[in-house]
Amino acid sequence: MSRPINPPCVFAKTFEGAKPGRNRLLAPILLIVLFGAMSADADSTDAAAPEPETGTEAMAAANESPTTASAPPPIGVRFGEPLHDQRFRLTYFFERIRKSGLLISDKSVSPSDIFNRVPPSVVYNEAPRSLVITTHTFQLAYSPHPRVTLIAEVPFVQRELKSVSDMDVRSQVETEGVGDINFAMVLPFIRKRNESSHVHVGVKVPTGSIRRGGRAMPDTLDSQIGNGTVDLEWGWTYLGFKDQFSWGGQVFGRHPVGRNGRDYRVGSRFEASFWGAVELIDGLSGSLRMSWEKQNNIRVRHRIPNSDIQHPSNNPKARGGTRFSIHPGLTLEVPGLANQRIAVEFDLPFYQDLDGPQLEQDWSVTAGWRWGF
């Protein structure tokens, strides 16, 4: 296996005194937590109001979870189901993403096109051909209180990047390791008989490597396991159901804080989706989800000379973009095994507008197993 000609470490400059606007990120998260707590208190007060109920009955009504006999949300929904009737839940996720072909905006280009661009905005001597990302994620959810779900996620990431040089020399780089660990808290926002919503706040710890390939000349950014910064995450999820049908929507965002040891910060990411699901037969349901995803470009402390960017993956202005996708999925409640479920969902992009040249996503698949107890 040959290795690519690695460009110099263009993010190696150090800096002092950088103080990004953390308050702008913390404010919406604190508001979400505050409103979630206020909603929980309001629901408890309303449940205790009817006079015929005893104190015990009022408490049970306040903690009652919505009926979940309808089709569950797709597996690709981020923290789609808080814990209600179980204290713990173990989940395993398998995800594989395949990217190939280059886009500039929504136009396809070839490696020779970017090598021979006239006039060249950036002179590249290497271009990516394909990227396969495989992630195994182990998730533990714990409910210390009926209105609080705590979640920890540990991912193991494998990346396979294939590139070609301007001299038509092909290369392949494979990296793997423990990725960035995630912690989150899920709080109910509204609970009604056929509707519910919840918010989540989380933090990602930079445990994944950002220096694969060596400290002096690390591999390209597409080969790195983590992003090297603490990330703050927020989200709101709505769920509705009636008989064998269910539907819902979700918005969430992730915002890196500060810069990592290579003096860059990955851009913020936003996603919105809505879906519908139906129980096909007893225990088996199908779903269809639509999603919009926005990824911002990398932020660097100092401007990088174009002559130092030899691979598109290292260009901070070629890492963002917008993607629209459709997601068919299936969910099966495992017969004979209480509170166990397996599910699968496909991600099929139908429109991508990327700050390129950048690899476009062909497809991805997410499968998983979960057990609540």
What would the pLDDT profile of 251-260 be if each residue is shown by its tens digit? Answer: 999 999 999 9
For residue 345, the model assigns a pLDDT of: 98
Q: How confident is the model at residue 126 (pLDDT cuts 50, 70, 90)?
A: very high
8 A C-beta contact, residue 309 and residue 298: no
Summarize the confidence of residues 227-255 as an average pLDDT: 97
Summarize the confidence of residues 327-336 as an average pLDDT: 96
* Alpha carbons 7 and 128: distance in angstroms, whole number: 13
Q: Which domains does the chain have, with CATH numbers?
A: 22-372 (2.40.160.40)
Summarize the confidence of residues 22-36 as an average pLDDT: 43
Q: Of 215 and 131, which is predicted with more confidence?
A: 131
Q: How many C-beta neighbours within 10 Å does residue 172 have?
A: 14
Q: How many C-beta neighbours within 10 Å does residue 305 have?
A: 9
The neighbouring-strand residues paired with 5 are none
What three-state secondary structure class fits 110?
coil
Task: Output the pTM of the full model.
Answer: 0.81
Burial bucket for residue 252 (CB in 10 Å: 0-12, 13-18, 19+): buried
For residue 7, the model assigns a pLDDT of: 44
Q: How confident is the model at residue 190 (pLDDT cuts 50, 70, 90)?
A: confident
Which residues lie below 8 Å from residue 145, measured CB to CB, with a gap of 6+? none
Between strands 181-191 and 195-205, the pairing is antiparallel
For residue 118, the model assigns a pLDDT of: 57
For residue 30, the model assigns a pLDDT of: 42
Q: How confident is the model at residue 64 (pLDDT cuts 50, 70, 90)?
A: very low
For residue 219, the model assigns a pLDDT of: 87
Q: What share of the chain is helix, strand, coil (3-state, %, to 5)?
A: 15, 50, 35
